[in-house]
Chain A
């Protein structure tokens, strides 16, 4: 197992390498970081030249990539080049934003997987019941909904719920503006209270969409195992139905959804970008939008690299989970 993990990690290094090169080319050709300075009244050609040299833009693209790569590997991810702002350190900005977003993504995934499995199993066991039809139609509507619409609706009703709370003379619980900059303050109870209040709405909004997909997958997988021969054997042996469903069918039906959830992390991350935008969080979503709009190549590269690493790690997690859950798969 350890050997397998090491080998897989080694295989993903060239992918990350090639990916970073292509990403660098893409980012470099997507715009001109000097454009704003050029267009600024009072800036001279000499100013533009100086900035170009300062940013290393006078060198050929391969040399620039090499410079970027070597400093990236040594832990220096560069500084933001967006004009009119302090030269923020890319590593600090990206990792801070990533931390916020990752918590949201993880929470939404946990919520979506747990609910998806529960609903999927129940829908399969009670196939063609009212619950099954209800779950199926909810899932179809959820699939077809843009993430931001769910977020907007959830946010609005959250605010109304807050109004009800304040109407009863209590403090507002749900916040819709993201975690406080300096972290949560107060005693333990207070912190948990505020933490859940902050994360609850975005997590629901983000989890809702993946939940639909997971519940469909779980239902299909569960139906397949329920109709398989070894389940019939177990029933024939006279085992209690509950035991057959959970010990025999359920454990095998978990495999597809667990793998899917790990592989789906990139898509959930995309969803998180949107959800954060609706809630005005200061996470990866806001960072991406501002880095694209103000055209900030080092920031974009940092952004892309950290998400790429996340996806690679979760692909590995998917494989390992698959090996653990399905003993027929031997990793090695």
Chain B
């Protein structure tokens, strides 16, 4: 170590010094975590979302029927045997929903991941380099926003073999624009600050400034927007599958389950409401979690002692 005099001896130092009086400064992430765990709605949402996800994965593994089972009678009403009834060809609806939830979440995660990576990199680079690069990236954003996303994805997805993964990739390619805009704005204002100037004066390279100084300061915004992107992606995927241009059998998703059953809405409303409630729960809880994260990351928030 460069400064031996300030490193503590591991055995006696660290543990006792911070607990003795309880005045040790919290690290930033501890503050954030604390603020988040005190956000009641966000915590409840997180629990519901985790239960839903676990339910879909564990439930699918342990439920007595799986999606290949077609032995039920056609459109059986809910019963102890089939809690959510059966589909037209006698599949167990609960098993279908377990699987659809898994696919929907998986697709949404891929989409949000791609949108975040592309959006953050383009936004940070444009905001930091400015000039021609900035103009180029922002015109690119304008270009991507000029036609409804749904139409672009529907056409582009046609070029690839149909599977849930290509739908996710194509959706991701057309979902980064908002993230890029937000991150560009934030980078623009960050790069005016003194610490960036100092880094420049010390001769740091552009990539070092972006990755070491700018991106860590964007963490809050990135986390919040990535979370909200998952919620948006669940809905866009459902919409795309609903008009028949998204996920196709044998893959499935909640949107696809709804389109297969919504004609039964009047006679057998449960076939519609079950996947519908799951979609709404997923996107509602993710939105609340994003809200909680936004509050937790906001340094102006002073409700909780830091």
Interface residues of A (CB under 8 A from B): 15-16, 18-19, 22-23, 26-27, 29-31, 140-141, 143-149, 152, 156, 159, 266-267, 269-270, 273-274, 277, 285, 288-289, 292-293, 295, 300, 303-304, 307-308, 311-312
CB of A90 to closest CB in B, whole Å: 15
B272-288 interface (Cβ within 8 A of A): 272, 276, 279-280, 283-284, 287-288
Q: Which 3 residue pairs spanning A and B have beta carbons closest together? A: A144-B284, A144-B283, A270-B148
Indicate if the CB atoms of A308 and B147 lie closer than 8 Å. Answer: yes
| B158–A307 CB distance below 8 A | no
**Cα distance A90–B258 in the bound complex, in angstroms:** 32
**Do the beta carbons of B159 and A146 come within 8 Å of each other?**
no
The answer to whether residues A273 and B151 also contact, given A15-B139, A22-B143, A30-B159 and a CB cut-off of 8 A, is yes
Residues of B within 8 A of A292 (CB): 154-155, 158, 245
Residues on B with C-beta less than 8 A from A144 are 231, 235, 280, 283-284, 287
B238 contacts partner chain A, Cβ-Cβ < 8 Å: yes
In the assembled complex, 22 residue pairs joining A and B whose CB atoms fall closer than 8 Å, in A order, are A22-B143, A26-B155, A27-B155, A140-B287, A143-B287, A144-B231, A145-B235, A146-B242, A146-B258, A147-B239, A148-B238, A148-B258, A152-B258, A267-B149, A269-B148, A270-B151, A273-B243, A277-B243, A288-B243, A292-B154, A308-B147, A311-B145
The B interface, classified by DSSP as helix, strand, loop or mixed, is helix
Give the CA-CA distance A19 to B142 in the complex, in Å. Answer: 10
Complex-state Cα separation, A239 to B258, whole angstroms? 55
Select one of B139, B245, B255 contacting A289, CB under 8 A.
Answer: B245
Contact between chains at A19 and B146 (CB < 8 Å): yes
| Extra A-B contacts (8), CB below 8 Å, given A269-B148, A273-B150 | A16-B146, A140-B284, A145-B283, A266-B146, A266-B149, A292-B245, A304-B147, A311-B145
User: Quick one: which of B65-98 are within 8 Å of A by CB?
Assistant: none
Main secondary structure of the interface of A (DSSP, over half): helix
How distant is the Cα of A266 from the Cα of B231 in the complex, in angstroms? 19
Q: Which single member of A146, A149, A266, A285 contacts B147 (CB below 8 Å)?
A: A266
Residues of B contacting A307 in the complex (Cβ-Cβ under 8 angstroms)? 147-148, 151
Total number of A-B contacts with CB less than 8 angstroms?
119
B153: nearest residue on chain A (CB-CB)?
A270
How many whole Å from A137's CB to the nearest CB in chain B? 10
Q: Name the B residues within 8 Å of A311 (CB-CB).
A: 145-147
- Enumerate chain B residues within 8 angstroms of A308, measured Cβ to Cβ: 146-147
Chain B: minimal CB distance from A256 (Å)? 16
Closest chain B residue to A297 by CB distance?
B155
Q: How far is the CB of A282 from chain B (nearest CB, A)?
A: 15
Instruction: Give, as a whole number of angstroms, the nearest-CB distance from B68 to chain A.
Output: 27
Given contacts A270-B151, A300-B155, A304-B147, contact A149 B284 (CB under 8 A): no
A285 to B148: give the CA distance in the assembly, Å: 11
Task: Flag whether B265 is at the interface (Cβ < 8 A).
Answer: yes
User: Which of B150, B266, B279, B284 is in CB contact (< 8 Å) with A270?
Assistant: B150
Contact of B148 among A27, A266, A289 (CB under 8 A): A266
- Expressed in whole angstroms, the minimum distance between the Cβ of A78 and any Cβ of chain B is 16
**B238 proximity list for chain A (CB < 8 A):** 146, 148
Taking a contact as CB atoms under 8 Å apart, the answer to whether B142 and A15 are in contact is: yes
Query: How far is the CB of A315 from the nearest CB of chain B, in Å?
Result: 8
The docked-state distance in angstroms from the alpha carbon of A31 to that of B160 is 9
Neighbouring B residues of A156 by C-beta, 8 Å: 265-266
Q: Is the CB of B158 within 8 A of A30?
A: yes
Any A CB within 8 A of the CB of B195: no
Which residues from A are CB-within-8-Å of B262? 148, 152
Bound complex: CA A19 to CA B145 (Å): 10
Question: Does A146 contact B279, Cβ atoms closer than 8 Å?
Answer: yes
CA separation between A311 and B288, bound complex, in Å?
Answer: 31
Known contacts A19-B146, A292-B154, A311-B145; is-contact A270 B245 (Cβ 8 Å): no
Q: In B205-263, which residues have CB < 8 Å from any A CB?
A: 231, 235, 238-239, 242-245, 255, 258, 262
Do B158 and A15 touch across chains, with their CB atoms under 8 A apart? no
CA of A29 to CA of B145, assembled, Å: 20
A205 to B245, CA, bound (A): 21
Expressed in whole angstroms, the Cα–Cα distance for A303 and B151 within the complex equals 9
A295 vs B245: C-alpha distance when bound (angstroms) = 12
Cα of A19 to Cα of B279 in the assembled complex, Å: 34
Q: CA–CA, A108 to B142, complex, Å?
A: 24
Taking the complex as formed, is B156 at the interface, i.e. its CB lies under 8 A from any CB of chain A? yes
Interface 1/0 per residue, B12-54 and A, CB below 8 Å? 0000000000000000000000000000000000000000000
Whether A148 lies near B242 (C-beta < 8 A) is: yes
* A274 neighbours in B (Cβ, 8 Å): 150, 239, 242-243
List B contacts of A300 (CB < 8 A). 155
Q: Which residue of A lies closest to B160 (CB)?
A: A30
Indicate whether A149 sits within 8 Å of B276 (C-beta atoms), given known contacts A140-B284, A270-B149, A274-B243.
yes
**In the complex, which residues of chain B have a beta carbon less than 8 angstroms from the beta carbon of A140?**
284, 287-288
